[in-house]
A = this chain, B = another copy of it.
Amino acid sequence: MDTRPIGMFDSGIGGLTVLKEVKKVLPNEEIMYLGDTKRFPYGSKSKEAIVEASRNCIKYLMKKNVKLIVIACGTATSQSLDILQKEFDIPIIGIIEPTVRYLQEHVKSEETIGIIATQGTIRSMAWEKNIQEKLPNIEIKSEETPLLATMAEQGWTNNKVAKYTIKEYMKCFKKIDRLILGCTHYPLFEILIKKELSKKVDIINTGEKVADYLKKYLEDKKIQNSNKIKQFTIYLTDKETNFAKLAKQLLEQEIEIKEAKF
């Protein structure tokens, strides 16, 4: 048993979709969540800028004495995970490996898998590389959807702008078997995405896959927390945003936000 908290970070509110799923599956785990809102959005920044920002997030969380770190951000996972796993001694889990693990268990051959993500993620080819290494026979169709994360941070997830944006972005996914939401902000648009796709399409919320992976990981390593803890703490590098309002809606509870200075 290890009662220390789990550290988790994203550029903004996106990672809360991961936090939400982790809380469902691991209700006893304490989570320290860091939203690097000062540097939002990660999706259009250079690889160097994302590695630097992620490195600083990890350092901040390590000072809080966390037992492992979840990169609850698609862009940071695709651009910085490999590099930072080598730099730090702490276990670091991104959103790609847990999702690929799920695909290995469920995908039949000859499937077509769609991926939507930020510019940085799509151009890194990280999803393609990781999926094709394990599942060489499936077809992958990826699309940059650069407006969605910013729209989510504005709280525009169910207005007309969001509706028509999703309609436009989904046009090229008419013949797919699964769609990976390759940015943790995107589950906020899940209702709209569902409406545009065939009912048979498996829409993959990476947060769910991270939660399942994490549960197994903690059990295997025997570092789960068996004490009853209800608390999670949210730190933001810039508090002057819509975060508090949106987080309250998403997590359906009152939240307290602390400032992280770096």
Residues of A participating in the B interface, judged by any CB pair closer than 8 Å? 39-41, 44-46, 49, 146-147, 150-151, 154, 156, 159-161, 164-165, 168
Contact = CB atoms under 8 A, between A and B. Distances in A.
Contacts of A46: 39, 49
B146 A150 contact: yes
Contacts of A161: 147, 161, 164-165, 168
10 contacts: A40-B44, A44-B44, A44-B45, A146-B154, A147-B147, A147-B150, A147-B154, A160-B160, A161-B164, A161-B165
A132 to B, nearest CB: 22
A75 to B, nearest CB: 12
A162 to B, nearest CB: 9
A160 B168 CA distance: 10
Contact of A160 (B146, B147, B164): B164
Closest 9 CB pairs of A and B: A160-B164, A161-B164, A161-B165, A146-B150, A41-B44, A147-B150, A147-B147, A161-B161, A44-B44
Contacts of A154: 146-147
Contacts of A40: 44
A185 to B, nearest CB: 14
Contacts of A41: 44
A41 B168 CA distance: 21
Contacts of A164: 159-161, 164
Contacts of A45: 44-45, 49
Nearest to A151: B147
